[in-house]
Amino acid sequence: MQIVLIEVLNGLVYGMLLFMLASGLTLIFSMMGVLNFAHASIYMLGAYLAFTISQFLGFFPALIIAPILCGALGAAIEIWGLRRVHHNGHTAELLFTFGLVFIIQRLVQMTWGMLPMAYRVPPSLDFPLFELYGANFPAYRGFMLLVSAGMLLGTWLLLKKTRIGLIIQAALTHPSMASALGHNVPFVFTTVFAGGCLLAGLAGVIGGNYQTTEPGMADAMGPIVFVVVVFGGLGSLAGCFIASIIIGMIQTFAVVIDYSIADLLRPLGVVLTGDTLLTELLTVPVARIGALLPLVMMVAILLFRPRGLMGTRDA
Amino acid sequence: MKYRWLILALIVVAIALPWCFYDWTHHRQAGFLISMLSQMGMMVILALSYNMLLGQAGLFSLCHATFFGMGGYATIHFLNGAGDGTLPVPMELMPLLAGLSGLGVAILFGSMATKQRATAFAMITLGIGELMATSALMFHHFFGGEGGVTTNRMIDNSLFGLSYASGLQVYYLILAWTVIAAALMYFLTLTPLGRMANATRDNFERAQFIGYDPRMVRFMQFALSGFFAGIGGGLYAITYEIVTYDALASSLSANALLMAYIGGTTVFGGPILGAILITLLQSGVSLLSNSWLVYVGVMFISMVIFAPTGLAGIIKTHGPIRQAGRLRLLVVPYLRLTIPSLGVLLGFVGLVELMSFLTIGAAQGKKLVLFGGPVDVHAALPWAISGICLLVGGVWLRFEAAGFHRVWESLSAEVRR
């Protein structure tokens, strides 16, 4: 029982981290129709920047500065890059962000080297928050939950309750009408792209010391974030939220489940022997194939519900 | 076939090249050259088959290495079977079996992925590619885990009585299959399927109105491109006698994209050019520099922004001017463009190399050696020189590019008249 409770909390922390990344991706996608392949690279950049800034100024200034730098980079990418290739169609935009992945990846390796960074949890947050049946829950994870919940609330308020949010929503569905009413739609696009990158940077700051800050972190995170966005339904923020939590939970629970399909079949009287591909598939414990589960889920949802959980349209 | 002579010349060069670098004093083949040429052959097939999706059907796929890799893994098992004597197939037909394996996998995944197009298609293929790459590390039976699977290619079963012990024999096998696959892919572009693929790329709604199912067209194109990628994978397995996770990892899919795009997706021969160029860069520059991927990445992004038709597309736009006999008017503008470009290149490469030697190179204990002497990467001078080269070259290049643009516009206007 205690394992379940702790794992639910851990899954929530991871799920919220995923959501912070996936929400930016979804916003950018639903607004501009651009899937930003470099999103996870911005996340990695956020972690590295936070590491460097926290060495000089401490963790909390880094929490503010690093995401702003990422947002500024996002704005620059939109203005000088995406806008130029926009007239060549969506595939050109996809290709452009895909090329960015390479460049950011190598630039990070060239600036900070190939080894993992010693980006640690700040001492002021490095204590057990509470104890649950003998297992500690670190205060930093509580802090992560707090930040991501605050960001969720902030984004929701911004989109639903302010005039800026109203214009963004209008530009999202009726860009030419919003433009005819005198709103600067390209500027709105830049803002949204920068905002998405800011969220990715923020996720990098709090995720960098929760996971490890190393050059492979973008490659590790990227596919999972894409799975979340597809699973939740392209362009749906609510679906994206649900998918993030589900996949966060699955990823954390998979690690502690040491059963395989063969164990489920055993009570039915099915005993597997031999050494073939099929028996290997059936007897591999869930803990070992944890990384595979989100991808399998994505393929499954595409087979049975191609628009994802909450998507309103086939993309 | 306008380019009949070019193709013939290319094939003759490919056949003759190993003998041009033959070491007559020791009677030894040039091993590095042959392995590079073999690699080129496989990559040409990979890039051409990728262009069946990106260029001809407008599908941005990110799981192309899956079919290459599955073809490779399957071939290893086929070769092992042939070695046992349980599979009586001659070596020359092994790539065909590999292609069929690729086709099978492509039919399976294509039935899911081709339900969608454009962005959603790209995401689904990304997921499929990751799924297969992750599986390859986890399941030992078929994929052999991290160590991969190995074989021995001397199965003693050949149509021509060859043993395939030497790299040269394998190279000619690769060359033959590359020519066959390329020819088949070319003829495929002339069939109704190839034409419909172009139509669904340009306007899928109109294709639908005439009564074609764009999804079926996408599916067939996807499956066939998987078939050809599988052939490439089979040749890979025969050459290296080992297939590991690298053969279906996402970096190879990305490589296929880079080769096809940089070479040019709008011309059939573009990916061939791209594959040859990137393989040359890979085996040449990667020996000298840690950061060759930066150069390829920057090259790719500049192509996306400035020359979306790729290298072959750029060459093709010179066609009308050449026919009008005005090509020599472009020589001087091109020369004027070259000097500032060299400055930009020098400055950029300098900055990248200095930076990478500061971190990665330092960790590897390497020192930057230039013009016969060591360069201190911590001193200000090399940084300043590179920076000035980049800045001055950049400003100058903008100026020259505007001039070039004027000449180009007036020439093409003249040719049109």
Q: Which residues contact A215 (CB under 8 A, 6 or more apart)?
A: A44, A105, A108, A109, A112, A114
pLDDT in tens, B56-86: 888 888 889 999 999 999 999 988 888 887 8
Quick check: helix, strand or coil at residue A115?
coil
On whether any CB of chain A is under 8 Å from the CB of B309, the answer is: no
Q: What is the DSSP string of A240-309?
A: HHHHHHHHHHHHHHHHH----HHHHHGGGT----S-SHHHHHHHS-GGGGGGGHHHHHHHHHHHH-TT-S
Mean pLDDT of A116-123: 81
Q: pLDDT at residue A205 above 70?
A: yes
Contact A264, A242 (CB under 8 A): no
Q: For A211-224, what is the mean pLDDT?
A: 84
Q: What is the mean pLDDT of residues B323-347?
A: 82
B166 vs chain A: nearest CA distance in angstroms? 34
| Mean pLDDT, chain B, integer | 84
Q: Token pair of A104, please? A: 């950011």
**Per-residue H/E/C for B29-86:** CCHHHHHHHHHHHHHHHHHHHHHHHHCCCCCCCCCHHHHHHHHHHHHHHHHHHHHHCC
Is residue A2 pLDDT above 70, yes or no?
A: no
Query: Hey, of B304, B352, B358, which one would you mutate to test binding to chain A, going by the most A CBs within 10 A of its CB?
Result: B304
Residue A315 has pLDDT above 50, yes or no: no
Assigned token pair, B138: 């986890």
Rounded to two decimals, what is the model's pTM?
A: 0.86
DSSP assigned state of B291:
T
Q: What is the dihedral of CA A102, A105, A109, A115, to 10 degrees?
A: -130
Question: Measured between CA atoms, how close is B303 to chain A, in angstroms?
Answer: 9
pLDDT in tens, B383-412: 888 888 888 888 888 888 888 888 888 888
CB-based contact A83:A186 (threshold 8 Å): yes
Residues of A in contact with B111 (CB under 8 A): none
pLDDT tens for B133-183 read 888 888 877 888 778 888 888 877 777 877 777 888 888 899 999 999 999
Q: Does A226 touch chain B (CB under 8 A)?
A: yes
What residues of chain B lie within 8 A of the CB of A292, using their CB? 131, 134-135, 138
Domains and CATH numbers, chain A: 2-304 (1.10.3470)
Alpha carbon distance B13, A273 (integer Å): 56
- Contact yes or no for B146/B137 (Cβ under 8 A): yes
Q: Which residues from chain B sit within 8 angstroms of residue A100, using beta carbons?
A: 301
| Chain B residues with CB-CB distance to A91 below 8 A | 54, 58, 60, 118
Opening angle at CA A284, ends A278 and A290, nearest 5: 125
Average pLDDT over chain A reads 83
Q: Which chain A residue lies closest to B113 (C-alpha atoms)?
A: A302
pLDDT at A274: 64
Give pLDDT, residue A173: 73
Q: Check residue A75 and give its pLDDT.
A: 92
Over residues A35-48, mean pLDDT: 91
CB atoms A103 and B294 under 8 Å: yes
Q: Tokens in use for A192?
A: 């949204």
Residue B105 has pLDDT above 50, yes or no: yes
Considering only the C-alpha atoms of chain A, give the largest distance between any 2 of them, rounded to a whole number of Å: 72
Would the CA dihedral through A75, A79, A85, A87 be positive or negative?
A: positive
Helix (H) or strand (E) holding A132: strand A128-132
Phi, psi of B27 (to 5 degrees): 50, 55
Report the pLDDT averaged over residues B245-271: 88
pLDDT above 90 covers what percent of chain B?
20
Q: Tell whether the model's pLDDT for residue B48 goes beyond 90.
A: yes
Amino acid at A274: G
Coarse DSSP helix, strand, coil percentages of chain A, rounded to the nearest 5 percent? 75, 5, 20
CB contact residues (below 8 A), chain B span 269-288, against chain A: none
Interface of B with A in 343-372 (CB under 8 A): 352, 355-356, 358-360, 362-363
pLDDT digits (tens, 9 = 90+) for B128-140: 888 888 888 888 7
Residue B255: its chain A contacts at CB < 8 A? none
Pairs of residues, one from chain A and one from chain B, whose beta carbons lie less than 8 Å apart: 136
**CB nearest to A291's CB, from B122, B134, B358:** B134
A216 has a chain B CB within 8 A of its CB? no
